[in-house]
Amino acid sequence: MTYLSQNQIKEFREANKPVSCPILGIKTKDWVLDHDHQTGMVRGVISRQANSLLGKVENFFLKMCKGQKEDLPDTLDAMAAYLEQEVTDVLHPVGLTQLTRKFANSLTAAEQVSELKDLGASEGDLASCKNQKQRKELFRKLTKNTYE
């Protein structure tokens, strides 16, 4: 084992920084020296964003889930498998709200009209929409009807 003093961290980080972050796969100039908070041992050099994400995941798992450190990799593998599974054709009520908010806040008026046409809006429906609020209401109605 080797002790790395505070004044050696920068040199160690520079000598061991990867081409891209091993967790996020991003290129960055903001590298940090990551260490295990339970053992104090260096794990490697990763991006600051990955270090923050890793810390939040580890802390939440250990504190809120009452998990054991050695079980975290299996839990993350299970989480990845869960996220990769096919989604259902069931729209959650909060999901409808999120889609509606995204429709209203992320699209131009022309893009909204195009989206409404794709959802089957009639020319009469579109003509009755005088503003974004009405287009948003029509989007919500048409999207909900698609799943009912």
Distance of CA 2 to the CA centre of its chain: 37
Q: What is the span of the domain harbouring residue 60?
A: 7-68
What phi, psi does 108 have (nearest 5°)?
-75, 170
Q: ∠127-113-138 over CA atoms, to 5°? A: 70
Local confidence pLDDT in tens for the 148 residues of the chain: 899 999 999 999 999 999 999 999 999 999 999 999 989 999 999 999 999 999 999 999 999 999 999 999 999 999 999 999 999 999 999 999 999 999 999 999 999 999 999 999 999 999 999 999 999 999 999 999 999 8
- State how many domains the chain has: 2
* Residue 25 backbone zone (phi > 0: left; psi -120 to 50: alpha; other: beta): left
Task: Among 68, 85, 104, give the residue marking a domain's end.
Answer: 68
Does any domain span residue 75? no
Does any domain span residue 73? no
